[in-house]
Every structure is written in structure tokens, then in C-alpha cells.
Structure 1
């Protein structure tokens, strides 16, 4: 299955989990009851294969099974990705005449679940709390048909539950691959069309003033940064091999963070004023900016504020920053070419609450271009349009840096010259890398 999916989407970050269920009265056996999400699934010694090899299939006494526990185990898994597929393979229905007609089937609990659980509640937890995007049930016998009819009714009888009538386990991998590829393709199309599914963000109160620092508590946080590649060639090699930049621990500091963001103009994140001081010292550093993702209405905050998502956002600016360094070297002897600088961005971990952190930009904020079609003609900056084109040329069409925004300042090193100090770019890539660099990556079309 992994090979089939990766063949079409080589940049896809696949994670597999396994939830095993039996019946109430099945003897407890040694070994795991499954495996939480892992990307270690290749080879007999992998985390996933070892968990699978230790599972024993034992008789529970009757024919019906404790399906509810299986679904509850699935709801406790560490769901993170944009596409979250639950593939349910079962040869028997759950307990209760509501879910089977009883013909040729012995059920020790015909009145229903032993623990009085409700299928609507369990399915709601999977769909809303875990944000499972597709629930696919694989019929390998005809005894589960009525159960799925009741499941669909409990879930609202829409397309969220998909049923496969295969009756042949050898066909399951093919179905999983096709369904997963279709889900990924749909996600890419949604992103490219700029469609957020009609969801809006949780609104935050905006306060543009610098906060009263004495009124804010200080909390210790850990800062991580990306290790720079030594050349553009090495940078591109890591991208081709789907390897993110190496994340290294930079410092431990105490931070004061404003209670409210100072702007709501961005589509993706809210910016907050922050001030750092060295642990064990009274000396405070300069005012910086920390940014946190906007939370979509109707989706759990936990799923939207994972460390992985913040690291991915950080990677966009890390790559743009390194390309800008190389661009400046290439144009250093040309007249009239301003320096292009992206602020250095790092990850701030405040006891499991994540932010990206960077320098506060002072001056008139200008958006010079966006992710597609728009170029600022009033404040036109030929150097920045040249930089976007150069990023495409120097990477042989692998990527293009755009959505350029920030301030125009006097060059800090060369008096009399100016520079562009930028943040929050977007990177479009060729189709081989379209699943990288967050959902602002509009791919080859972008």
C-alpha cells in the first residue's frame, strides 16, 4: 500500500496505525493491541510490522464482535495529517439485533453493547474530534451489511462512510491505494483553487499597542532553528530526497507574550509582540514577533497546532532565506540591485504550545506580490520580481519563491543603499514536491 501511494506522490508523508479489536470475553493475550501512527513501516523489523506480527486471533465464544472498542481505539490514535483515512476490515457485525438480522449468527448480547455505548457518539468523535476525512468499511462477508446501514444512518447518511464489497482480501491494498490517491488529489485541487471549504477562523481581539510588559508573566521556552545547507545544490538535494532541514536546539529563554495579536490581516497566522530574557538573568532582549496559526471554526485546536505544522511553516522561510543569500552573492557587483533579506525564523516551544519566532519589522509594510497574479505596480520593486524569477532559474524549475512582503530599509551594511527585509513568503514547486511547503504551495500551476 505504501509503495502504491508513494509511486504517485513521492513527497507524501505516510503514517500508518493499527487498531485491533476482538470480543468482550476473548482471553487477554501478551503483545500489543495495535500500533499508534508511525512512519516506520518498511521491513520486518519496523515498528508497524513488529506490532502486526505479535497479534493473535482468538475465538471470543460467539459470532458478533466488540466493534465499538475497535472504533474507540481508532479515536485515541495520534491523527495529524491533512488526509485521515480509517480503513475498517471486519467479517462480523457488532453486538445487538439493531446491527444484524441474527440469521446464522449467534450473539451473546442481542440487546446491544455490553457497556451501553452509543454508535452515534463514537462516530461523531471520529469525525469531529479526530477529523477523520474518510471512513471506509471493507465487507469481506455479507454479514456486515446491516451494521453499515445503521452506521451510515447514525453518521447522517452522507458520503463520509464509504463501503467496499470486495469479499477478497487480496484486493484490499488496491482499494486503499486508489482511495488514498483520490483523497490526496482532491486536497491538492482544493488548495490550488484557494478553497478553504467555507470555514472561517476563530476571531481574536486585536490590540495594536506595545503591551505593558510589567503586567505580563514570564514563562520559559525552548527555541529551535534550522541548520543551513552549505550550498544551493545541497539544499535542492534535501528537497529532492524529501528531507526537511535539520532542526537544532538553539537556546532556552524566558518569554513574555502579548495577550492579543497586533494584526489580523494575514490569512494563516496571528502575530503577537513578544520579549525574551535569558534564563536566570534580568536582562531583556529586543521586542520580537511570535506567530500562531489561526484556528478554523469547527475543527479541534489540537489538530491545527501540531509541532510538525509549525516546523513546515518555518521551513518555507528557511529555504527562501538561503536562496536570498545566494541571490545577493550573485548580484553583489551589479548596480542598482538592492539586497533581499528574509528574517530568520525559529520555533518556540512553550511547554507544548508552539509559535514561530522572528524579528519585528519596523517601517511601512508593503506587499510586493502575492501567491498568484498580483504584483504591486505602485510600489514596484524590480529586484524582488527578479529574485522570484531567479529562484525558479537557479533551481532548474524545481521551485519559485513568491508572495513577497515586508519593509524597505536602509542597508544595514552599506550606507546610502537600501534593502528589502521580508517575511512570510510562499514557495511553489514542481509536481514532484507539491505536498511540501504548506498549503500555500500552488504547485506547477502556481
Structure 2
């Protein structure tokens, strides 16, 4: 065989191998996005006291319900299934509408629900709880919104006094057991949320929580704000469900390292220091640099690391520790180690990919901060934590990413599939992701924004980057390519920050004005801008 023919065969084989790899990655991305959408579906049951004092909240549920459906459709691309269970007092009518995804059917049903009845102060809550498991729960996420202003019967559940307080002070006249009622609901993995309109229900829900576990409370004193609060809670429930499912999905075919969690920092004087190789990804000099593999620097240092992790994310364990580089003093840090015991997922190459993503995000955040400085008088900056990789010299299988420790509360503002926190909505962070897409001419986008908030800054870590080249960062499996960017824009609503930064406006779907009222930003910016054109960066800078 001639040399030319041999080279042609090799090139053809390489081309086929790349095509196979690209098609395999496209399939994986489609599966992730399909799973994310499926896990966004939710059943929302309104469990409501329908006696005379509750008319304002029944009317608010009826008139504001489209806020909930429009928000879930916009943010999660799925229609919520809605059910209604209304209760009054013993032997009075129970209202029951099983789940429907048609908001008009839900509204029409509520049109015929009247706030009437209620013999004494206490109500027949047990009959409503009895109905909940009988509903057609079918979606991955389940939530009850229990709205009430009076406790159930039985002096174990309230401190009310007087002859009209509780005609069944000995408890439920039908002798139903609370533990059975609640455990039947709990088996369905339902998130139980309450809106308690006065203090009389506190003792009842304390008793419920003793059996059920976590029961969260939404503080709503104005019926006009009812659905806004429900939207926030429902969306948070969906995001939590997606995060849990994706964590299981990423590790379903892998063995997890058998660590025991221990959230207690050791006494470091009792610990031996290990010598380590240090690896850093060099900070880019120009915008063009981020589209190529970044340079790697090496050094040495020492570490002390706790034997047990204090927490676990979807991909990594986190350990308390101390770190010294090139003879400097030991400082408090966090060490991050992948949870999978598969050697292929614990290679130095995988750690370097994750670190390269963080360095690119840091570079873009610095450029974004410059834009903010030239545009806003009181900007809130985005700061990515400096990070390195360490590898123990006496055991090269022990590899960690190391970062300075955050002492603020940890938060997650967005994920890599378009999910966004409604409870802690940030126009700055949403604009940052949008800006990274624009400034790189659509070649990449920084997403999955998480970390801590401090005075005047977001302190972030562990980002993901979507690239037009879906084979880049292929070991991290978080690059969802152009489809991932599309998922971001599906839920993104351009804010004043996007406008001031002259970012191209995304087309708003119908209902976005109402949704934007719900997405109340935690950012307090000085809307007065500096009168100068922002310095725009292009990919050839």
C-alpha cells in the first residue's frame, strides 16, 4: 500500500471516529435536556379552609392562578397539574377537584366554591388530609399548598378557649389517626407547604411536623401577594427535584466513594501535613486565548485535609483543610474530590478541565466587572474564587481542587439547563450569562452560577460553560452546547442590566410582564448610569 493511500485511510478513520464522538455527545445532551424537562413537571394541590373567613384567599387563588401556570410554563417549559381540596367543619361539604393541566377547568371549579360554613372555630382538617392520597398524583414533583386560619379539632392541636372554640376538644369524632393520615401523604413524597394566616395554627403544624418531618411555611399576609409566593415556592421545589435527579443520573452507573459525612472541623495541630504537587491553569491574556486549551503551571506545597467530607454536591465531596503553596503559611481552604470511585472520572485530566472552566469564567467575570464599572455607579461585582489542583506526592491517586473557604451561606442561582432561582433572582447574574454569550459571538456561555453573596459582590465557584464545540470539556459532561445556550434563553428575561449593557433583547413570550413582577431581583443597583459608551470586547481582542 502506498503512503498516500495509508494516510487517506487513517484520515478517514479519524473522521469517522470524530463523527461518532460528536453524535454520541449530541445524544447525551438530548438525554440530559429531555430528563430535565421531564423532571420539571409538577402536581400542585391547593388544600384550603373554605369557611366564611377565607373568602379573600379563595378569590385570590381563583384570580391569580394564571400567574402560577404562566411562570411554570416560562421557567420550566411544562404545564403544572392543579388540584383543589377544600374543607369546612365536621359533616360539611368537602370540595374536591382532581388534577388537571387545564387552568380554565381549575378556574371554573373555583367559581362555584363559596366560603361558607364553619360551626365552631376549629375545622375538619382530617377529612381533607384523608382525600390527599386519593388524588391522581402523577408527576415527578408533588407539592401541597395548605392555606388556613384555624386548627383542627382536639385540644392537642391548639390553645383556643371558650365555648365556641372546639366542640370536639377530645379530638377527631371519627377517631382517625393523624399519624396514618400524614404518613399516607408522606409516602407519596409530597412537599408540604403552609400559609398560616394567624398564630392559632402553629401548634397544629408543630404536631404535624413531628410526624411528617419538614413542613415549610410561606408568610403571606396580603391576598394580593398569594400567588407570587406560591410561584417562588413551587419553582424552588422543581429546581430541587431536578438537582436531585441529575445528581442520581450522573452517578447512576458509578460506585460512590464510601465516605461518612462529618460537619466538624478538625483540630489541625493533630494532623500531619502531606507534600503535594500543585497545578494551576494560567489566566488568559486575551479573549482569543479562551477558545484554546490554556497553559498549565506547576509547583509544590503542603496540605492538611479532614478525613471525612462535610458536604456533598452532585459531582464532588467537600473537605475542610489547610493549604500552603511554595513555602507560604497554611490557610483555611476547601478541598473538592469527585464522588465517583471510577478511576476514569478521577484523572488529573478531568480535574484540569473543571479548573480550566473556572479560570475562563474568572477571566470573563473580570471583563464583565469592567463593563459594570463603566456603566453603573454602584455595581455589584462577580468574583470567581482562585483555585488550584493538588496531587499528593506519596499517593498520586489523591487529587483535589483547592479553593479559599467561603464563610457566607451557599446559594445556587441557576443551573446549566435553563433553571433559575426565583426565590433569589439576580438580574446581575442573569445578565452575566447573557453577556458571555454576546461577547464571545455565541461561541460560549457561562452558566450554573453558584456560591455566596457578600457586600457588593457575588463570590462564585464551580461554573459550567456551554461551547459551540460540544467536544470541548467532554470529560466534565456539563457542556450542553448550543442547545444548552438555547435553554438559558428560553427562561431568560432581559432586565435593565441587559439594556444598559446594550445586550441584544430576547423576544418576550406572552405573559412575561407578569412573570417579571414575580422575579423580584435581589440586586439593588443605582439606576443612574455613567454617561459613556461601555467598552465592548470582541473575539479578536
TM-score by length of 1: 0.53
Aligned to 2:238: none
Query: Could you say if the C-alpha distance between residues 214 and 427 of structure 1 is closer, same or farther in structure 2, counting changes exceeding 3 Å?
Result: same
Cα distance change of structure 1 residues 223 and 389 upon mapping to structure 2, 3 Å threshold:
same
Q: Using the TM superposition, give the Cα deviation of residue 170 of structure 1 relative to its aligned residue in structure 2, in angstroms.
A: 9.2
Residue by residue over 1:195-228, the C-alpha shift from the partner in whole angstroms, topping out at 9 and shown as x without a partner, is: 5483244142111111221332211112222222
Alpha-carbon displacement from aligned partner over 1:98-143 (angstroms, at most 9, x marks no partner): xxxxxxxxxxxxxxxxxxxxxxxxxxxxxxxxxxxxxxxxxxxxxx
8 Å Cα contact 1:428-1:443 kept in structure 2 = yes
Distance in 1 separating the partners of 2:473 and 2:334: 28
Instruction: Determine the C-alpha separation between the residues in 1 that align with 2:11 and 2:442.
Output: 34
The 1-side partners of 2:296 and 2:250 are apart by 30
CA-to-partner distance for each residue in 1:362-404, whole Å, 9 max, x for gaps?
A: 1111101011121111111111101000000110000000100
Aligned partners of 1:368 and 1:311: how far apart in 2? 24
Give 2:482's aligned residue.
444
**1:248 maps to what in 2?**
297
Work out whether residues 337 and 383 of structure 1, in 8 Å CA contact, stay in contact via their aligned partners in 2: no
- Aligned pair in 2 of structure 1 residues 405, 206: CA closer, same or farther (>3 Å)? same
- Give the deviation of 1:175 after TM superposition: 6.3
Residues 208 and 432 (structure 1 numbering): CA distance in 2 closer, same or farther, change over 3 Å? closer
In structure 2, the CA distance between the partners of 1:346 and 1:172, relative to structure 1 (3 Å rule), is closer
Query: Structure 1, residues 177-211: CA drift from partner, whole Å, max 9, x if none?
Result: 53663244224422452354832441421111112
Contact 1:192 1:443 in 2 (8 A): no
Distance 1:184 1:432 in 2: 7
Shift in alpha-carbon separation, 1:437–1:361, aligned structure 2, 3 A: farther
Moved >4 Å (runs of 4+) = 169-177, 432-437
1:340 has 2:382 as partner: yes
Identify which of 357, 360, 364 aligns with 1:316: 357
1:394 matched to 2:449? The reply is no
Residue 430 of structure 1 and its aligned partner are, at CA, apart by 1.1
Structure 1 residue 331 corresponds to structure 2 residue 372: yes
Match of 1:226 among 264, 271, 281: 281
- Could you say what secondary structure the match of 1:444 adopts? helix
Structure showing the higher helix proportion among its residues: 2
Alignment of 1:388-427 (within 5 A): 388-410=433-455, 418-427=456-465
> Number of paired residues?
260
User: Aligned to 1:272, which of 308, 314, 319?
Assistant: 319
| Matches of 1:367 and 1:227, distance apart in 2 | 27
Structure 1: stretches of 5+ with no match in the other structure: 1-42, 45-51, 53-168, 411-417
2:417 equivalent in structure 1: 372
1:257 lines up with 2:305 in the alignment: yes
TM-superposed CA distance for 1:316, in Å, is: 0.5
- How many angstroms apart in 2 are the aligned matches of 1:434 and 1:393? 19
C-alpha distance in 2 between matches for 1:176 and 1:431: 17
CA contact (8 A) 1:405 1:422 kept: yes
Cα distance change, pair 172–389 in 1 and its aligned pair in 2 (3 A): closer
Shift in Å at residue 342 of structure 1?
A: 0.4
Alignment correspondent of 1:356: 401
For the residue of structure 1 that corresponds to 2:482, the secondary structure is: coil
Structure 1, residues 394-418: CA drift from partner, whole Å, max 9, x if none? 10000000100011112xxxxxxx1
Distance in 1 (alpha carbons) for counterparts of 2:17 and 2:430:
40
Rg bigger for which structure?
A: 2
The equivalent of 1:305 in structure 2 is: 346
Question: 1:258 deviation in Å?
Answer: 0.9
The correspondence for 1:209, drawn from 264, 286, 294, is: 264
Match of 2:466 in 1: 428
Q: 1:335 to 1:376 in 2, by over 3 A?
A: farther
Secondary structure class of the residue paired with 2:362: helix
Q: Distance in 2 between matches of 1:227 and 1:434?
A: 18
TM-score computed with the length of structure 2 as normaliser: 0.44
Give the C-alpha shift of residue 357 in structure 1.
1.1
CA RMSD of aligned residues (A): 2.9
Superposition pairs of residues 54-93 of structure 1, within 5 angstroms: none
Distance 1:436 1:172, change over 3 A: closer
Q: Deviation per CA, 1:41-86, whole angstroms, max 9, x where unpaired?
A: xx99xxxxxxx9xxxxxxxxxxxxxxxxxxxxxxxxxxxxxxxxxx
2:24 alignment partner in structure 1: 186
| CA distance 1:215–1:336, change in 2 (3 Å) | same
Give, in whole Å, the separation in 2 of the partners of 1:424 and 1:292. 12
Instruction: Report if aligned partners of 1:347, 1:356 keep a CA contact under 8 Å in 2.
Output: yes
